[in-house]
């Protein structure tokens, strides 16, 4: 690149233009294709790599959208880990995975980083099939320590010597699974490294030079050798004196190091807290821990979400997740909604119900804004409970409230509710407690992909006795279903609804409780019946219009309830139509299976009825736009029409050509 300004001559100006075009904001990062390239650099160059990695992360996510703040917070940590450890031979596991974008850039995926969360592009989370540098897929939190311990034990059984490192956030540490794993790891004394990325809850106060010095000291070989020698000496002292000496050493370290005692009691050697943005502190500590021959070890690293990008640092949520945005201003390119989102409709409906009934309470597991519980919290802060990433606890906590006459609404994503299934069965269903489950993100969710799709709740709840299960076909129906749940006081209930905007239908002023187990006929026809459970009703209406144009008179029914089913309506549809299709946004074993079981028991499948159940395919669907995912799943209007012709034994393409 030329280092002087152009003179104004045309040839100089042409050369200058070429030079500007060739200029890179990330010259050192451009030379790194894998962590092996990073490890060839001098230690004094690592700071520049981290700075360029932050810039590349900002530029990439401004184009793709996605999780943002947490990734910016671990740029230095990511760079240091790949510089110090021999990845992928050393296993590096990122808990949840939403902070792994910088990791992806450094591990051979930079050329695809602007395909994040798009069809055929990179996953927004770590994924084993995507890279050898992703040893464990993670999009649900708090799994990293368990997985890492499994890998460490497998290494020991195989006689290996590699390191296993789990990076877990302070939010993820609110889940019991993390402590179960730590308790097990401490008891087994397997060589394992856990890095606690403290970026939100401020477990420790701001750290400085003294804390960093102590961390280097405690992680260093000299101190560890002296400590081990002291332990050996203690073995030869009277037990009461040895125990007292150990306590003094542990608690003095806990006092000086701001919180290490808890982890020491679980069997971990605690190091920290250290500044996660200061490479002069990070690199020597990581190197010391890498060379330890015993474990497990926990390194407490303090980072800042959104670090290095002003708008994110200034934002309340540190730009945790974003859509496309302007790098210069931080302004996010959010489209104007045409209709209210389902989560907001739920939150607003719950507020209205709580205004009438002081027994209504709201519960969420670390997702208040994602579920609409944040709206409830603003209106009723004392009746709102965010239990952290602890779905099991959330369910049984709600059960306890229900035993005392309260009306708990447990608002949890479908994909996360799976984590509390034993509690749903044992603590809620068996005792017939009126816990109300609000199941957000039902169906396919687009960019978050298979890990966040609400595919299975109809199947895993439908098999439980005495459960009321509903699905809203639009946002107005959701209002009425919330009111219905308030009125159910003798058994558990669930309402499922999707991510995103509603249909823009006219909204009721107040919700009115529905008759339990009664659906509705939306359109009358004579030959084909489309029985919808959930928001595929809109696609059924499109399909019915097309079928009518093709000469097939079609009835549309909104089931509303999967359990109990509207027996009268279903039998009537079966008697009066040649073809009956059920359509749902869930896996096999859900609504369609219940309908077929009912029809079989009543002999309705013994005659001429052509019955088909349209469900999600028996595979995990990768991320894409929701419309593209539903088309691939065969649950859009076009697929519904084709299924009708298949049931009739006719070729859809041939019939449409004839009519044309």
Backbone phi, psi, residue 104, to 5°: -65, -40
CB 322 within 8 A of CB 332: yes
Give the strand order in the sheet containing 407-413: 384-386, 360-364, 407-413, 436-440, 493-496, 468-471, 561-563
| SS3 letters across 595-623 | HHHHHHHCCCCCCCCEEEEECCCCCCCCC
Can 305 be counted among the known catalytic residues? yes
Strand ordering across the sheet containing 520-523: 520-523, 554-558, 528-533, 579-584, 610-614
The catalytically annotated residue of 76, 264, 353, 391 is 391
Point out the catalytic residue in the list 110, 318, 419, 441.
419
Question: Is 265 an active-site residue?
Answer: no
Q: Is 117 helix (H, G, I), strand (E, B) or coil?
A: coil
At residue 391, the 3 state secondary structure works out as helix
What distance in Å separates the CA atoms of residue 203 and residue 262, rounded to the nearest whole number?
12
Per 3-state DSSP, the chain is made up of helix, strand and coil in percentages (nearest 5) of: 45, 15, 40
Question: Which helix or strand (DSSP H or E) is residue 49 part of?
Answer: helix 46-64
116 vs 123: CA distance, rounded Å:
6
Residue 221's φ and ψ, nearest 5 degrees, are -65, -35
361 and 409 Cβ atoms separated by less than 8 Å: yes
Phi, psi of 412 (to 5 degrees): -140, 140
Which of 104, 253, 305, 441 is catalytic? The answer is 305
User: What are residue 292's phi and psi, to 5 degrees?
Assistant: -65, 145
CB atoms under 10 Å from CB of 17, counted, come to: 11
The 10 Å Cβ neighbour count of residue 180 is 13
Please list the residues that pair with 300 across neighbouring strands. 196
Q: Residue 118: which residues within 8 A CB-CB, separation 6 or more?
A: 64, 447, 623, 624
Distance CA 70, CA 336 (A): 26
> Which of 616, 324, 377, 372 has the alpha carbon at shortest distance from 475?
372
Active site residue 419: yes
d(Cα 308, Cα 73) in Å, to the nearest integer? 8
Active site residues: 305, 391, 419
């Amino acid at each position: 690149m030329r280092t002087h300004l152009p003179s104004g001559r045309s040839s100089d100006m042409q050369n200058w233009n070429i030079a500007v075009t060739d200029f890179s904001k990330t010259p050192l990062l451009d030379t790194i294709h894998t962590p092996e390239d990073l490890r060839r650099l001098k230690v004094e160059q690592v700071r520049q790599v981290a700075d360029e990695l932050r810039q590349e992360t900002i530029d990439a996510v401004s184009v793709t959208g996605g999780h943002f703040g947490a990734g910016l917070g671990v740029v230095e940590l990511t760079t240091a880990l790949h510089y110090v450890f021999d990845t992928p031979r050393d296993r590096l596991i990122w808990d949840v995975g939403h902070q792994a974008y910088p990791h992806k850039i450094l591990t051979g995926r930079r050329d695809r980083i602007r395909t994040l969360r798009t069809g055929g592009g990179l996953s927004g989370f770590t994924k084993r099939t995507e890279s050898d540098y992703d040893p464990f897929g993670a999009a649900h939190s708090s799994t990293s320590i368990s997985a890492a311990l499994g890998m460490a034990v497998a290494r020991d059984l195989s006689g290996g010597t590699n390191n296993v490192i789990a990076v877990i956030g302070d939010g993820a540490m609110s889940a019991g699974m993390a402590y179960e794993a730590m308790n097990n790891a401490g008891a087994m004394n397997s060589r394992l490294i856990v890095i606690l990325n403290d970026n939100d809850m401020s477990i420790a106060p701001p750290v400085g030079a003294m804390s960093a010095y102590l961390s280097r000291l405690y992680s260093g070989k000299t101190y560890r050798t002296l400590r081990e020698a002291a332990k050996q000496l203690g073995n030869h002292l009277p037990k009461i004196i040895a125990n007292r000496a150990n306590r003094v050493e542990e608690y003095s370290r806990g006092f000086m190091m701001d919180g290490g005692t808890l982890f020491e009691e679980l069997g971990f050697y605690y190091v920290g807290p250290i500044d996660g943005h200061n490479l002069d502190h990070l690199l020597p500590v990581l190197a010391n821990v890498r060379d330890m021959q015993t474990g497990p070890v926990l390194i407490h690293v303090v980072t800042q979400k959104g670090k290095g990008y002003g708008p994110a640092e200034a934002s309340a949520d540190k730009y945790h997740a974003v859509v496309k945005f302007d790098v210069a201003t931080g302004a996010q390119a959010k489209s104007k909604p045409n209709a209210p989102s389902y989560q907001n409709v739920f939150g607003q409906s719950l507020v209205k119900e709580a205004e009438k009934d002081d027994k209504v309470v709201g519960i969420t597991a670390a997702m208040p804004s994602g579920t609409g519980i944040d709206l409830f919290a603003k209106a009723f802060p004392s009746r709102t409970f965010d239990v952290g990433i602890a779905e099991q606890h959330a369910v049984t906590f709600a059960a306890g409230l229900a035993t005392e006459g309260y009306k708990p609404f447990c608002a949890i994503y479908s994909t996360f509710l799976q984590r509390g299934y034993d509690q749903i069965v044992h603590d809620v269903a068996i005792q017939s407690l009126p816990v109300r489950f609000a199941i957000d993100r039902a169906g396919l969710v687009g960019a978050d992909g298979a890990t966040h799709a609400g595919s299975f709740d109809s199947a895993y709840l439908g098999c439980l006795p005495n459960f009321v299960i509903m699905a809203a076909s639009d946002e107005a129906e959701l209002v009425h279903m919330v009111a219905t749940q308030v009125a159910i006081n003798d058994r558990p209930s669930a309402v499922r609804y999707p991510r995103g905007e509603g249909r823009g239908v006219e909204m009721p002023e107040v919700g009115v409780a529905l008759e339990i187990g009664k659906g509705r006929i939306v359109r009358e026809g004579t030959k084909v019946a489309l029985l919808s459970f959930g928001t595929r009703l809109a696609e059924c209406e499109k399909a019915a219009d097309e079928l009518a144009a093709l000469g097939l008179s079609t009835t549309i029914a909104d089931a509303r309830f999967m359990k109990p089913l509207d027996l009268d309506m279903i039998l009537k549809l079966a008697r009066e139509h040649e073809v009956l299709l059920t359509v749902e946004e869930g896996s096999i074993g859900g609504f369609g299976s219940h309908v077929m079981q009912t029809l079989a028991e009543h002999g309705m499948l013994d005659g001429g009825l052509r019955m088909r159940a349209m469900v999600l395919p028996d595979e995990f669907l990768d991320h894409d736009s929701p419309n593209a995912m539903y088309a691939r799943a065969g649950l859009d209007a076009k697929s519904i029409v084709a299924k009708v012709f298949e049931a009739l034994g006719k070729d859809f393409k041939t019939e449409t050509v004839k009519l044309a």
